[in-house]
Amino acid sequence: MAGSQAIFGTTPFDGTVAMRGYALNRMCFSFNSAENRETFRADEEAYMRAYGLDEAQAEAIRKRDVLGLLAAGGNVYYLAKFAGILGLDVQDLGAAQTGLTKEAFKARLVAQNDQPETL
């Protein structure tokens, strides 16, 4: 997508990414079902094979590597369902992606209050 490289630390989830990540996102979408979450927990490898994840996607799932999951085409809305299985919230994800501790990431959010009030 034109201009998609222009924003630091951001990859718009466009058609190219959506095609690359389809199997991974389809698996994560299945985690809306509690039964599917249990099946995944019982045998992650078998579950990933059933959904046809490629090696990069499977490796990022094994490592709980959030940036790796995004690079492999994961979309944050579906990945959030995987994070839910792990008991992680969006501050955990934010910390993992920025290299901060969770406390430091939360402090950085609070510090946004110090921004100016006018454009």
Binding stretches for other proteins (CB under 8 A): 1, 3-4, 6-15, 18, 22, 25-26, 28-29, 31-34, 37, 66-67, 70, 75-81, 83-85, 89-91, 93-94, 97-98, 105, 108-110, 112-113, 115-119
- Which residue number, 58 or 75, has a Cβ lying nearer to other proteins? 75
- Which residue number, 34 or 55, has a Cβ lying nearer to other proteins? 34
Whole-number minimum distance, CB 102 to other proteins, in Å? 11
CB atoms under 10 Å from CB of 99, counted, come to: 9
Q: How far is CA 71 from CA 21, 67, 99, in A?
A: 9, 6, 16
Report the alpha-carbon distance of residue 71 to residue 13 in Å, rounded: 11
3-state class percentages of the chain: helix first, strand second, coil last, to nearest 5: 65, 0, 35
Whole-number minimum distance, CB 90 to other proteins, in Å? 5
